[in-house]
């Protein structure tokens, strides 16, 4: 916002750039740069951005915008030696009602748009606020499927992987007639489902170290070319012993396409208790 103020002193009003006189691309661009710090800090510190924090971002963005306008107003008062009776409210009124458009540098300005200026300044404010939340939303989307600890407000980090592999090969299945292939694939996956259920029931209520030991006894790699494979992903909270175990099956369907299916997840008691408390 300080850079925006410096540029405004040179006659470049980035916040006033509009696309087709309607979309406040300048305000959105400045907002994106302003909000990037939230997103980078969230990923660097591995902290989740809660709805209440996102709300505070919106409020802070509004204050940022008003602060920028006030700095511009104070600069005008100092450089133009305006009378003290010219208040900040008068300044806001003038930049709205005397707002004009031009098609680029050196192009003549149009006529003041009067009361419509309030509408366009409102769009400018919305563009800045919306832009400031875009990086944070992108950061959230990038970890949308990563569970987080409700107690520490941190995303789980992957600590251990284990695999269950079907012994059958897809190439053998591909040579079977279609209906036999469907039945053979179902029979190939059935033991994986049964063993996965048994493992997940076994680790219910166990500590992270106990679950980690159980997963370490599984195969260390997913077999290539097999009909199916179950991946166990064990994640742990960086701040406490809370953990999340997820089992997903990757395999071939009867048409030879690869599919991914979530089977079951197990969370530590501390996570469940935190969820119950909230």
CA of residue 112 relative to chain centroid, distance: 40
Domain ranges within the chain, ordered by starting residue:
2-144, 149-277
pLDDT of res. 37: 82
235: pLDDT strictly greater than 70: yes
The reported pTM is 0.59
Taking the CA atoms of residue 261, residue 141, residue 239 and residue 196 in that order, the dihedral angle to the nearest 10 degrees is 0
193: pLDDT strictly greater than 90: yes
275: pLDDT strictly greater than 50: no
Average pLDDT for residues 108-112, to the nearest whole number? 68
pLDDT of res. 141: 64
Residue % of the chain over a pLDDT of 70: 90
Question: CB-based contacts of 73: which residues, under 8 Å, 6+ apart?
Answer: 88, 91
**Local confidence band at 99 (pLDDT 50, 70, 90 cut-offs):** confident
pLDDT of res. 112: 79
Average pLDDT for residues 242-270, to the nearest whole number? 90
SS (H, E, C) the chain: CHHHHHHHHCCCCHHHCCECCCECHHHHHHHHHHHHHHHHHHHHHCECCCHHHHHHHHHHHHHHHHHHHHHHHHHHHHHCCCCCCCCHHHHHHHHHHCCCCCCCCCCCCCCCCCCHHHHHHHHHHHHHHHHHHHHHHHHHHHCCCCCEECCCCEECEEEEEEEEECCCEHHHHHCCCHHHHHHHHHHHHHHHHHHHHHHHHHHCCCCHHHHHHHHHCCECCCCCCECEEEEEEEEECCCCCCEEEEEEEEEECCCCCEEEEEEEEEECHHHHHHHHHC
pLDDT, tens digit (0-9, with 9 covering 90-100), for 36-86: 887 787 777 777 777 787 788 888 888 888 887 888 788 778 877 888 888
Structure tokens at 81: 């030696």
The residue among 177, 153, 146 whose CA lies nearest residue 238 is 153
């Amino acid at each position: 916002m300080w850079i925006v103020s410096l540029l405004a002193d040179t006659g470049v009003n980035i916040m006033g750039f509009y696309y087709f006189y309607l979309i406040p691309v300048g305000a959105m661009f400045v907002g994106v740069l302003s909000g990037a710090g939230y997103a980078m800090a969230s990923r660097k510190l591995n902290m989740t951005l809660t709805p209440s924090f996102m709300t505070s971002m919106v409020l802070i963005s509004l204050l940022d915008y008003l602060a920028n306008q006030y700095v511009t107003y104070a600069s005008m008062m100092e450089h133009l030696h305006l009378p003290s009776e010219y208040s900040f409210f008068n300044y806001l009124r003038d930049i709205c009602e005397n707002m004009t458009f031009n098609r680029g540098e050196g192009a003549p300005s149009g006529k003041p748009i009067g009361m419509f200026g309030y509408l366009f300044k409102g769009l400018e404010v919305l563009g800045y606020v919306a832009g400031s939340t875009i990086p944070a939303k992108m950061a959230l989307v990038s970890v949308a499927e990563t569970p987080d600890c409700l107690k520490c407000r941190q995303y789980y980090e992957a600590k251990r992987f284990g695999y269950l592999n079907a012994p059958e090969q897809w190439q053998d299945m591909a040579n079977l007639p279609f209906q036999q292939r469907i039945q053979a694939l179902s029979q190939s996956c059935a033991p994986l489902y049964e063993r996965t259920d048994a493992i997940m029931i076994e680790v219910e209520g166990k500590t992270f170290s106990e679950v980690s030991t159980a997963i370490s006894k599984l195969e260390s790699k997913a077999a290539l070319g097999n009909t199916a494979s179950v991946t166990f992903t064990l994640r742990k909270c960086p701040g406490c012993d809370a953990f999340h175990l997820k089992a997903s099956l990757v395999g071939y369907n009867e048409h030879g396409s690869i599919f991914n299916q979530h089977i079951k997840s197990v969370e530590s008691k501390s996570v469940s208790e935190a969820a119950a408390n909230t």
